[in-house]
Amino acid sequence: MKANPGADVAKHTSTVVSPISLTCPPLFSSLLLSSTLVMMASLRLPAQLVTRGTLNHHNSSERLSCRRSLTPDNSIPSFPSSSSSSLNRKLSTVVPITCSAAAVNLAPGTPVRPTSILVVGATGTLGRQIVRRALDEGYDVRCLVRPRPAPADFLRDWGATVVNADLSKPETIPATLVGVHTVIDCATGRPEEPIKTVDWEGKVALIQCAKAMGIQKYVFYSIHNCDKHPEVPLMEIKYCTEKFLQDSGLNHITIRLCGFMQGLIGQYAVPILEEKSVWGTDAPTRVAYMDTQDIARLTLIALRNEKINGKLLTFAGPRAWTTQEVITLCERLAGQDANVTTVPVSVLRVTRQLTRFFQWTNDVADRLAFSEVLSSDTVFSAPMTETNSLLGVDQKDMVTLEKYLQDYFSNILKKLKDLKAQSKQSDIYF
């Protein structure tokens, strides 16, 4: 037997969802009727829900620009029959919509509960922690996930409701928003996808649908200092989405993040334990990594604080770390040296320029641009004093990177020791 150092060592208890009671026929009939009406309305989406925002990628300057204009438009024209032409894949100008951000009762007897939330990107590193924390705090959690061969059964086991939709297909979004009070947007594109497909086009469609469906609060996760790096497509898209959400009129909270502690497991901890190469750079970049469980906890605190509506918050860990400091810490906790392969920042720059020459490698170049920022002399951190005061939390309650990695290595090394002991007991000698 061989232990997998990258496996999730955390144990979770399951949460049971109460079945819907059918002992009140009038209320159930009203809910069914209103849901049917909304489903019918979703088939007649306004054209603006499938019209992308302007996001022009100029190869010469490697800059992205977004244009946001919101004009009143209360009409809801029928959804065009030809989806291929109406989706306007060339990112035409946004035709905005306006509607009340307050609760919208589409039929008598169908108020939206403040505890009903939709988590978009629920299977991701952050999304699953949001789901888990929200369920533990008594929220009714619905998870939007893409149709996939392997169903997200662990979300159902926890007690969440799973609905299938795809942000790149706007017509699948409205039905997932029926009966939802708050949207928590943790989604991001897959590595093999163009960055704009989900992180811009999909988010624009989701925000517009949320506005049209009367969603009362929208939480969006962005990247720290995204406004300072317009040369990086992903960061420029995040900044444009922040502005688009702000101009939409939705009641919202924007949270900028620096980095996840969980990401360090696969990047450094596992390769060191498996005696594989660890990749790093020669740049003194510092990142204030944060445990996603702390991010989830602070997010739900912010969700309940009406004073935070419309604010921009930045969540950062207790300390900013360089790559070499993280590797050294992992070596100490693992009790073995790392095989470090250093990639000079100059190599990243040259590689990015080379991939710019071919259209089929543009997406690689876009991601290398983000890697280049992470490998530059940049500090991804922010003081948390004001944010902690606003949320009423204590910095001492935040998990430090030392504690997080110590717990991980302790659990993994104990499992490896137990497996080794079991292997010796099962040895047969002739």
Written out in words, the top-level CATH class of the domain with range 112-257 is alpha beta
Question: pLDDT: is 309 or 76 the higher one?
Answer: 309
At 383, give phi and psi (nearest 5°).
-65, 140
Helices 362-374 and 233-248 pack at an angle, to 10 degrees, of 90
- The whole-number pLDDT of residue 231 equals 81
pLDDT in tens, 8-53: 433 333 333 332 222 233 332 333 333 443 333 443 343 434 444 4
Residue 67 — very low, low, confident or very high, per pLDDT cuts 50/70/90?
very low
Residue 346 — very low, low, confident or very high, per pLDDT cuts 50/70/90?
low
pLDDT in tens, 391-422: 999 999 999 999 999 999 999 988 877 776 56
pLDDT in tens, 226-277: 999 888 888 999 999 999 999 999 999 999 999 999 999 998 999 999 999 8
Question: H or E element: which one contains 118?
Answer: strand 116-120
Are 56 and 195 contacting, i.e. CB atoms less than 8 angstroms apart?
no
SS3 of 286, please? Answer: strand
Question: CB neighbours (10 Å) of residue 395?
Answer: 10
**Is the confidence at residue 355, as pLDDT, over 90?**
no
What's the mean pLDDT in 281-290? 84
User: What's the mean per-residue pLDDT of the chain?
Assistant: 74
**Is the confidence at residue 95, as pLDDT, over 60?**
no
SS3 of 184, please? Answer: strand
pTM for the whole structure: 0.72
- The whole-number pLDDT of residue 150 equals 73
* Domain ranges across the chain: 112-257
